[in-house]
Amino acid sequence: MNSQGILIVVSGFSGSGKGTIMKELLKKYDNYALSISATTRQPREGETDGREYFFKTREEFEKMIAKEELIEYAKYVNNYYGTPRAYVEEQLAAGRDVILEIEIQGALKVKERFPETLLLFVTPPSAEELRRRLIGRGTESMEVIEARLKRAAEEADGMESYDYFVVNDVLETCVEDVHRIIRAEHSKSCRNKAFAEQIKRELKGE
């Protein structure tokens, strides 16, 4: 069957827990590669350059755009975020499933450019739970939390553009759900046309 990796976009409201799900997925299975984005936002406590993000100045980021080093980029609550191209292309060619953890504008741009991209949307069970998690995380000021909740309400309008919803209630279950969806995606007939052709030829004795 097809050995080419699948490009997977994971979006979800800020505070949906998508980052934790991805970390667990990568720990548990070894065929996934997580793309590290570039951003102009300030590092949060505990974040390291080159691990969570490549932290860039606005000028550096704009240079990356001009040199077409990004597959996509978007502005999110006053900062730039973008996906470096080279890593994604290398990993896909090596047969790994590459995960982009990006917001909706970027997700739709990727889908337009690469229509075979699998789009997953992670959501908490309810809006109340989202609010509780954002406040509980304690990494942002109330003002930023309000801005992110407002953005969540806007992003919810685009949820239907995604291929699958993943409700993040119990972490373990959620990780398995994501893994199963991706495994199933590999078996889709449209991703395995060469395999079908080969079997047909063999059956005809060619």
Cβ-count burial of 153 within 10 angstroms (0-12 exposed, 13-18 middle, 19+ buried)?
A: exposed
Residue 27's closest CA among 171, 168, 167? 171
Those residues with Cβ within 8 angstroms of residue 185's Cβ, 6 or more apart along the chain or in another chain: 6, 118, 191
Q: How far is the CB of 81 from ligand 5GP (least distance, A)?
A: 3
Which of 103, 111, 122, 145 touches ligand 5GP (CB under 6 A)? 103
Q: Facing residues of 166 across strands?
A: 122
CB of 71 to ligand 5GP, least distance (A): 8
Query: Which string of x and - marks every residue 38-77 that binds ligand 5GP (by CB under 6 A)?
Result: ---x------------------------------xxx-x-
Q: Does 144 bind ligand 5GP (CB under 6 A)?
A: no
Based on C-alpha coordinates, what's the Rg of the chain?
18
Which residue from 32, 101, 111, 118 is in contact with ligand 5GP, where contact means CB under 6 A? 101
Contacts of ligand 5GP in 72-91 (CB under 6 A)? 72-74, 76, 81-83
Residue closer to ligand 5GP (CB basis): 17 or 106:
106
Distance CA 108, CA 117 (A): 10
3-state secondary structure of 100: strand
Q: Is 117 in the site for ligand 5GP (CB under 6 A)?
A: no
Q: Can you tell me which residue has the tokens 């597959």? A: 71
Q: Where do contacts with ligand 5GP occur on this chain (CB under 6 A)?
A: 14, 37, 41, 72-74, 76, 81-83, 101-103, 105-106
